[in-house]
Amino acid sequence: MSTSRQLEELAAKLAQALPPGLKGLRRELEDNFRAVLRAHLDRLDLVSRERFDVQAELLARTQQKLQRLEQRLDALESRSASNTSA
């Protein structure tokens, strides 16, 4: 579900939760809820779940590659150390 749709649903739920005396202002308050929610969400600098998952996968691959390179370096250093002691 998109963030925009979720925001619309949340604003509608907030408006529906209003006390009976404020039902006449429901549409105006719903618009205000929507504007306030959107302004606060924009300030949070959020990323989509898809983008997060892509970055997490990239990080995992990078960590694996780094681990392989560290192992390779250790093997080369061991080989070098044994050649200099002989």
Residue-wise pLDDT tens digits, 5-59: 888 888 888 888 888 777 778 888 888 888 888 888 878 877 888 999 999 999 9
Q: Is the pLDDT of residue 1 over 50?
A: no
Cα 43 to Cα 65: distance, rounded to the nearest angstrom = 35
Q: Which pLDDT band, with edges at 50, 70 and 90, does 86 fall under? A: low
The DSSP code for 46 is -
Start-to-end CA distance of the chain, whole Å, equals 66
Tell me what the mean pLDDT of segment 70-84 comes to.
92
Question: SS3 for 2?
Answer: coil
Tell me what the mean pLDDT of segment 58-79 comes to.
96
Cα 58 to Cα 69: distance, rounded to the nearest angstrom = 16
